[in-house]
Chain A
Amino acid sequence: MVTYLIRRLLLMALTLFGISVLIFVLLRIVPGNIADILFDAAGMVSAAEKHKLEAELGLDKPIVVQYVDWIGGLARGDFGYTYVSERPALEEILPRIPVTAKLAALAVMFSVLLGVPLGVVSAVRQNTALDYVLRVASLSGLSLPSFWLGLLILMAFVQYAGWIPIYTEKPARLWDELALLSIPAAAAGLRSSALVMRLTRSSMLEVLRQDYVRTARAKGASPAAVNYDHALRNAMLPIITIIGIEAAFLVGGLIVTETVFNIPGVARFLVEAIRWRDYPVVQNLVMFIAIIVVSVNFLVDMAYAVLDPRIRYEE
């Protein structure tokens, strides 16, 4: 277990190192350096100012030194400087994290509360009309773009409620904020819930085919006891991995949902930074997202290893 843990940690570090190189290189294949882009965007022309900016950004140094400086800065929590608001990027990002975290937590809750029970029902009633309806529903859920769903929800509110659930200022009480966020969370979480439902169904079907389930049936256990006591308990384990899969899946939904509902979160900030071509910030935000996704997957793997006594990692 300990060797497995160390191996996984090393792999995780390697992956993050690779991503940092990838992003660093990707943002440097753009023709013209960041100072050029900032100059275009800001409309400044003085060559002296440009050299000053290049020196400030370290663009005059060799590329390897630039990379080491960037990683060193990240490790110290230096997220760079946003050129749009002329403030340290961390000051912009930190207040946005709780908003996105709440939205993400609500979306995950929504997707699990809706997806797991429906997936179980669909598997238990395999090949019945109900199963068919649920499968078609989950497929259509996966086919809806989250941003369109968000727009449809806005439209329904305009039509029937007469107000728009858009985040204009932070509500004073936590409950009010959560209530306001629950609407976009449903828009972002619906696709995830369809994914959760499909994975739960297939995990449950796998378990229902096992010998011990047949044994339980043969000894005369009631269908409910077989389905929920024997099968679901064992099917829950693979369902945990879904949370890991969902982490990466949900980020895409959050990006467009925060944009549609005008929520001042981290995901929308990424889009804004990309649109403003604020590459130092983009680079840091993408690293931040990668660290979160990789850590969630690591934690899920660890939970799996601890919870499943059959798994012994001794290669």
Chain B
Amino acid sequence: MAVAHEGGAFDLARNRAAGLSSSLAHFLRRYPLGAAGAAIVLAIVLMALLADWITVFDPTATDAHASLARPGGAHPLGADFMGRDMWSRIAFGARISLAVGVGATSLGCIIGVSIGLLSGYFGGWLDLVAQRFMDMLQALPLLVLALVMSAALGPSLENVILAISIPLVPTVARVIRSNTLMLREMPFVEAARAVGMNEISIALRHVLPNTLAPLTVLATAQLGSAILVEAALSFLGLGIPEPYPSWGRMLSESAAEYVRTAPWLVIYPGLAISLAVFGTNLLGDALRDIFDPRLRL
């Protein structure tokens, strides 16, 4: 009896493991592009986490002898005008890009979900005011609003995250609001009300969890935009301040003069930005197909 029981538990665990690996195989087969995107994102996350171990030089250390060193030898991706190692700067730059991307996306989603949930669930004048406010934010192009905000707030990592998060809010708020409007009429919300739950608990415990699928899809798409906007802000000299190695800053205007003399200073940081955004976009598309085929961004 005991043996049979143990065997049963063992089978269960084995089945679960088999289930996980087979669903992984299913994902790979069904969404090869999504899997490629996930691999790219994973590689960049690993690069950010392991930046200390996979590089030799300090990303901010200058070296007059290595000024504009060609790729190869001690500097596999070359060095910039101040002799800073490109590979180190790109690996550590992944930290900045991800910190800003994840930070701005999370902040934007938290604010957007709160606004969308409140205005969709409670409606009335609150909804009206929130919607007009979202109209306003949406009428300003993402980069313009982020530029003005980061100029007004001053250059720092936290301010850049804040400046990028606010323009992301309206899209999130709109999607969550329309989902909430639909969920509000569902029988399970009716049931929760019938057993005497108060409205706030219903909104938080029954409506909110059901908006997580579209939110995941949206957040992945916005992660890509946030990384791109950070790069553009830093490129224009209004983003991440020195000495942080930001990919966009590496391409900053002075790079235009190296187009002729040191193309590696232009190619690698741009490649890093494009790959990071491409990875999140591929993953986001696959997630959209899985979670919500009807959601169109």
Chain A interface (Cβ within 8 Å of chain B)? 11, 14-16, 18-19, 22-23, 26-27, 29-30, 132, 135-136, 139-140, 142-148, 151-152, 154-155, 158, 202, 248-249, 251-252, 255-256, 259-260, 270-271, 274-275, 277, 282, 286, 289-290, 293-294, 297
Contacts and interface: CB of A to CB of B under 8 A. Distances in A.
A38 to B, nearest CB: 15
A50 B189 CA distance: 62
A252 B144 contact: yes
Interface of B: 33, 132-133, 135-136, 138-144, 147-149, 151-154, 224, 228-229, 231-232, 235-238, 248, 251, 253, 255-256, 259-260, 263, 266-267, 270, 273-275, 277-278, 281-282, 285, 296
Contact of B259 (A11, A147, A155): A155
A111 B270 CA distance: 22
Given A144-B274, A145-B270, A151-B266, A26 B149 contact: yes
Contacts of B237: 275
Contact of A147 (B251, B260, B267, B277): B251
A252 B238 contact: no
B136 A270 contact: no
Contact of A202 (B140, B148, B296): B296
B139 A154 contact: no
Query: Which of B33, B152, B260 has the most A CB atoms < 10 Å from its CB?
Result: B152
A290 B282 contact: no
Contact of B266 (A26, A135, A152): A152
Contacts of B277: 142-143, 145
Nearest to B138: A248
Given A252-B144, A274-B148, A15 B139 contact: yes
Contacts of B149: 26
Given A152-B266, A154-B259, A255 B143 contact: yes
A293 B255 contact: no
A255 B132 CA distance: 27
B258 to A, nearest CB: 9
A133 B136 CA distance: 37
Nearest to B261: A158
A27 B148 contact: yes
A202 B260 CA distance: 41
A297 B267 CA distance: 37
A274 B285 CA distance: 36
A151 B236 CA distance: 14
B132 A15 contact: yes
Nearest to A22: B136
